[in-house]
Structure 1
């Protein structure tokens, strides 16, 4: 059997727990093998994975010389050449900017995946000489061989900023259907995400307060909150608002990625009320949508970012405008009052996700994309 060829998988902060979708994206590779490169390792290295912290490989100016000025030491160059890689795949725009000098030096094709805020935040989209990504952004788009926005929404955001449409291919986020499956369903509504402006949990809390007796017999479980004393002012305000509303909820705290399948398996309804934050930060295509759909949940969500690409109105869930408290409350009320229709939405959502957002299928597509830019037959 032919030995897999290697690619350099650049993510500057490797194996961050909340970004487990990055190594999962390579899980079905058979012809290529990722070698992870970056400057910090923020979590457990997956079993069998090869990872290189580049920090000790730089010259006299160290990491700063590499990031700010694209300086590549002989030691770094030789270490990477010895791997005989055929391409570089960077996750997030900033990592793409850091990887660009490497692609030039090693004469390798470069692909970069955009996930959300890297394409939408004002800090990333303005002109700024002091920020490496902003300074190299146009060069990255000009020289990259492939740009992979995680949703058509992100493609349009990049297009509006000057990225070349002919280089972009939408490559949707995915989840593993082996991990996310329907379980013993309960009368349970689940929200999962950081308690930040982008996630729209403020909209959800207000919507829940309008439901009154419709919530009788149902459990509302909110995941992702921080303990008291660790919250920023925005999150603490949400807790205060929740306490004042009188709505009874379960606060699950931060839930590790490996434990989320159990929560979605129990839930009948997933609520994803995301909206664009004042900073411009927006979702790409929230993974929680796909995880919940694979788990047989109906979705109460907003017309935000890539959510409209995975929620079929009236078929797999309901959609309302961003920040529409009354609309979200009405969506939830309809789901609570018609459990049979809600269950049917959950079943339809799972079928759609299995076809269009299947981890194994998308991983093979990513491998095909990287093979193509490397000039190898698919």
Structure 2
């Protein structure tokens, strides 16, 4: 059964739900839900982490999990395929799929088709529009389901999905999506160059909902690394993957001069966690480095409040993957914490070098080590940067502006459906 012209409800497709590393998605869903936008969540993967952010617990939207691997739910996939074969959009879908498969001959491509069969069959009639986070594999599922059912779809692009998806695929998805948004000017420029029209993709920063965060500390101890009993506390948060540059950070920490007393804590999981631990051990700094694993947001914020310096040396991974504007940088700013990062991807859109923080070239561990050494010894400079980052966050990167934009777009779909003009 095809949806009515007005969407009535919107299905939001995500790669996995909930995920500790995707606070920006949970923040957006919760804010839209609180503004009365009727949403459902469709996830390609089941959760893999035990900890859950408090805001995920506040989200009321129903969650449907698609078969993560088709062989795990063969009856469900078969029912979806048989149902799909009887739909008017099946022929067009298969033409698109075969064209995609010739250029991307992978099991992953077939899995997305099977997930689309299931999604298309199980979407309630009141779901009239599909919105997807990430333009790579999640958008393939949504695109195929939209072709099959005649529903419209839109997207939010972020980081890896922009930089690791081939141009031919982005161009075709952009042509079929009703509109798209992305969270950095760097990403928007790339997508606009492949779009039917320049205004087809809009820049919408995630921002941060400061109402969910405690007030920053009134003051921090003026640690300068001279007291072995009270070392400078450095912290970083992020998955242990190549694009985060944590290998450079471990190398930089190991090169700090012996008269500087410091401790470093890392929060996050990731495939490279064991190799980072081994690198710290090999460099003789394992006794000063703590790998805390994944943590829920309240625990992360508590750590940021107690720290003196936040570091995130993002860089381009060999696969082409890179960060957008990591939300954790804004979370550090919410606690007036001095920030040291790289002049890369979307980071300079928030951090202006020497004002809200310090930026060093990506992949340059020596420059990173030098900056760590100087900032660790200068508590007054750290305070000035932390104060400036907090003010920039409050004035230019609060959540409200981005949510206002998305609310307008989604409300138009819910109330008027395809009759409403596409927002600029």
**Do they fold alike, i.e. is TM over 0.5?**
yes
Distance 1:334 1:156 in 2: 35
Q: Aligned residue for 1:198?
A: 243
Distance 2:361 2:150 in 1: 46
Q: Aligned residue for 1:254?
A: 293
In the alignment, is the contact (CA less than 8 A) between 2:113 and 2:144 conserved in 1? no
Deviation string 1:238-292 (CA, Å, 9 cap, x unpaired) is 3333223333423132132322111112222110101001111101111111111
| Residues 345 and 5 (structure 1), Cα distance of their counterparts in 2 relative to 1, 3 Å cut | farther
Q: Which moved more, 1:111-120 or 1:349-358?
A: 349-358
Q: Aligned residue for 1:92?
A: 134
Please point out which of 66, 80, 86 is paired with 1:58.
80
Q: Which moved more, 1:342-351 or 1:162-171?
A: 162-171
Q: Aligned residue for 1:143?
A: 176
- Superposed, 1:262-273 pairs within 5 Å as 262-273=302-313
The secondary structure found in structure 1 opposite 2:212 is coil
Distance 1:54 1:252 in 2: 33
Q: Aligned residue for 2:113?
A: 68
In the alignment, is the contact (CA less than 8 A) between 1:214 and 1:337 conserved in 2? no
**How far off is 1:377 after superposition?**
11
Please point out which of 17, 34, 38 is paired with 2:20.
17
| Residues 330 and 180 (structure 1), Cα distance of their counterparts in 2 relative to 1, 3 Å cut | farther
Please point out which of 210, 226, 235 is paired with 1:177.
210
Q: Aligned residue for 1:339?
A: 379
Please point out which of 151, 154, 159 is paired with 1:111.
154
1:350 aligns with 2:390: yes
Distance 2:422 2:267 in 1: 44
Please point out which of 311, 322, 342 is paired with 1:302.
342
The secondary structure found in structure 2 opposite 1:208 is helix
The secondary structure found in structure 2 opposite 1:102 is helix
In the alignment, is the contact (CA less than 8 A) between 1:38 and 1:52 conserved in 2? yes
Deviation string 1:72-98 (CA, Å, 9 cap, x unpaired) is 57x945x5353243x321011122221
Distance 2:399 2:200 in 1: 23
1:28 aligns with 2:31: yes
In the alignment, is the contact (CA less than 8 A) between 1:17 and 1:42 conserved in 2? no
In the alignment, is the contact (CA less than 8 A) between 2:304 and 2:335 conserved in 1? yes
Q: Aligned residue for 1:238?
A: 276
In structure 2, list runs of 5 or more residues that go unmatched.
1-6, 68-75, 85-107, 222-231
In the alignment, is the contact (CA less than 8 A) between 2:120 and 2:149 conserved in 1? no
**How far off is 1:40 after superposition?**
3.6
Q: Aligned residue for 1:131?
A: none
How many residue pairs get matched? 355
Deviation string 1:17-57 (CA, Å, 9 cap, x unpaired) is 33243222122221412111234432677442212235546
The secondary structure found in structure 1 opposite 2:315 is coil
| Residues 163 and 115 (structure 1), Cα distance of their counterparts in 2 relative to 1, 3 Å cut | farther
1:7 aligns with 2:10: yes
| Residues 208 and 76 (structure 1), Cα distance of their counterparts in 2 relative to 1, 3 Å cut | closer
Q: Aligned residue for 1:229?
A: none
Distance 2:362 2:148 in 1: 45
Q: Aligned residue for 1:224?
A: 268
Please point out which of 357, 363, 374 is paired with 2:403.
363
In the alignment, is the contact (CA less than 8 A) between 1:268 and 1:296 conserved in 2? no
The secondary structure found in structure 2 opposite 1:191 is strand
In the alignment, is the contact (CA less than 8 A) between 1:27 and 1:360 conserved in 2? no
Q: Which moved more, 1:332-341 or 1:283-292?
A: 332-341
Q: Which moved more, 1:142-151 or 1:172-181?
A: 172-181
| Residues 65 and 279 (structure 1), Cα distance of their counterparts in 2 relative to 1, 3 Å cut | closer
**How far off is 1:151 after superposition?**
0.8
In the alignment, is the contact (CA less than 8 A) between 1:209 and 1:245 conserved in 2? yes
